[in-house]
Amino acid sequence: MKLNLRRWPAALFLAMAMLAIAPSTKSTATEAAWARLAQGGYTILLGYARTPGGEPLRPDLGDCENRKSLTDRGIQEARRIGMRFAARAVSISAVYSGEFCRALETAELAFGSSNVETRAYLNSIVSGGDPELIPGELIAAVDDFYGAGNQLMVTHPVLIRAISGTTPREGEAVIIAPGINPGDKPRVINRLLLD
């Protein structure tokens, strides 16, 4: 097989150009997401930080102080998420968390324990990510939220998948807004890479 060396520089140039564009596309998408959040009025869904695993499905919800819910890396990740929002000066009007220790600890580390309220509807682990099983209270909370700031909800990635159609990567938040009609599944507006 004979190699055509005249085509090699053009192919190499094209490959290098594609690699150069890829990171900036992610960066541009993240910048667009931050710009949207600066306008306010959105709901931000965030999965809990890294866990060691093994938390029972129905944990003792009152015993989070005695449970190692997050790994050391998860603790650092949660704190970093809070710092990213603070650095961008994005207004967060309310922070809600599920009652599972891993979600509550993520929210408290990122945004301060005095700023977090728990909501039982964020405990939902929707079977298989079925959008028909999204809690009505969550849909109502998104429909009813208006304001200059944003509301942030820390929950299970499976519930986020039911709403967004994909499981968020670690350190990725999903920005949503009310559905087209009241009571409809929320619409995904953008994704935000935090890590």
Domain limits of the chain?
31-50+68-193
CATH 3.40.50.1240 fits 31-50+68-193, yes or no: yes
User: Which pLDDT belongs to residue 59?
Assistant: 57
**pTM for the full predicted model:** 0.80
Let me know: does 160 contact 167? Beta carbons within 8 Å. Answer: yes
What is the predicted pLDDT for the residue at 82? 94
What are the start-end ranges of the H helices in 49-192? 72-88, 101-111, 136-143, 157-164
Residue 126 and residue 28: Cα distance in Å, rounded? 32
What is the number of alpha carbons within 13 Å of residue 156 lying toward its C-beta?
Answer: 22
Residue 62: the pLDDT is 63
Check if the beta carbon of residue 100 is closer than 8 Å to that of residue 49: no
pLDDT of the chain, 195 residues: tens digit per residue: 555 545 545 554 544 444 444 444 455 667 888 998 999 999 999 998 888 765 555 555 667 777 778 889 999 999 999 999 999 989 999 999 998 888 999 999 999 988 899 999 998 766 555 667 789 999 999 999 988 899 999 998 889 998 888 888 888 899 999 999 988 999 999 999 887
Quote the pLDDT of residue 4: 53
On the 0-12 / 13-18 / 19+ scale of CB atoms within 10 A, 149 is middle
- Cα distance between residue 103 and residue 156, in whole Å: 7
| Per-residue pLDDT at 147 | 81
Strands (E) across the chain are located at 43-47, 92-97, 116-118, 150-155, 172-177, 187-193
